[in-house]
Amino acid sequence: MASGAARPCLDLFYATIDFEKKRRAHFHEFMADVHERIGQARKHHEGDPMPRVGRDIAETAQLLCFDELHVTDIADAMILGRLFTTLFANNVIVIATSNAAPSELYKDGLNRQLFVPFIELLEDKMEVFALEARKDYRLEKLQGSPLYFSPADDAARHAMRLAWRRLTGVETGEATTLLVKGRQVEIPEAHGGAAYFTYETIFEPALGPNDYLAIA
């Protein structure tokens, strides 16, 4: 488990591993999938669904790579210990990046004492490395540029377009569609890992947390 500027290292590691049963996911995306699996298991089986869910995940991914392991949801906090116990028992290798050391996860969260065994499990089963980078290349193209423009007039729109061109190198992006749990989420413009929305196109559609996570 690595904290700090570790995402590029994780990407490089995952790309170079010649192993079929592997999965790389943003941690919150993974947990959304876990909750869905729990719901399905409860519909079709009696008893505690967690061992079954953990075994099912282990059957398809013996290597799990998580980006941004961060816990803020009480529902996630209550199931993580049992889930990861099953994963480790099934010899799943877990590699994760996080902006917080294990001891800082879910800090000041509701009923955190029930979450502490998960922290102890991570510290027992995983090695923790702090990776500190002197430069954040993600911010390089926006260095010295304002990030907020007000009022929302023609000058603000012009400034936003200048920022878009600086980030992407193109005047306009291409319309893109994301598939999120069987539904289509429309992106008006996308290019080079960046997306451009107006207020109406990002907030007026009936989108939920999983949709915004997929966009991000």
Provide the residue type at 81 as one letter.
G
Give mean pLDDT, residues 74-79.
Answer: 90
Long-range contacts of 197-204 (CB under 8 A, 24+ apart): 199/152
Give mean pLDDT, residues 62-85.
Answer: 92
Give mean pLDDT, residues 198-206.
Answer: 92
Which range is least confidently modeled, 29-38, 86-95, 138-147, 190-199?
138-147
- Is residue 85 within 8 Å of residue 46, measured between CB atoms? no
* Mean of all residue pLDDT scores within the chain: 89
Res. 30: pLDDT tops 60: yes
Which range is least confidently modeled, 7-16, 73-82, 152-161?
7-16
Res. 26: pLDDT tops 90: no
DSSP-derived 3-state class of residue 93: strand
* Global pTM value: 0.73
Res. 5: pLDDT tops 60: no
Res. 3: pLDDT tops 70: no
Res. 174: pLDDT tops 70: yes
Most confident range (mean pLDDT) of 17-31, 51-65, 94-108, 123-137 is 51-65
Parallel, antiparallel or unpaired: strands 194-196 and 183-191: antiparallel
* pLDDT given for residue 132 in this prediction: 72
Give mean pLDDT, residues 114-132.
Answer: 91
* pLDDT given for residue 135 in this prediction: 65
Measured between alpha carbons, how far is 46 from 124 in angstroms, rounded to an integer?
31
The owner of tokens 């953990």 is 54
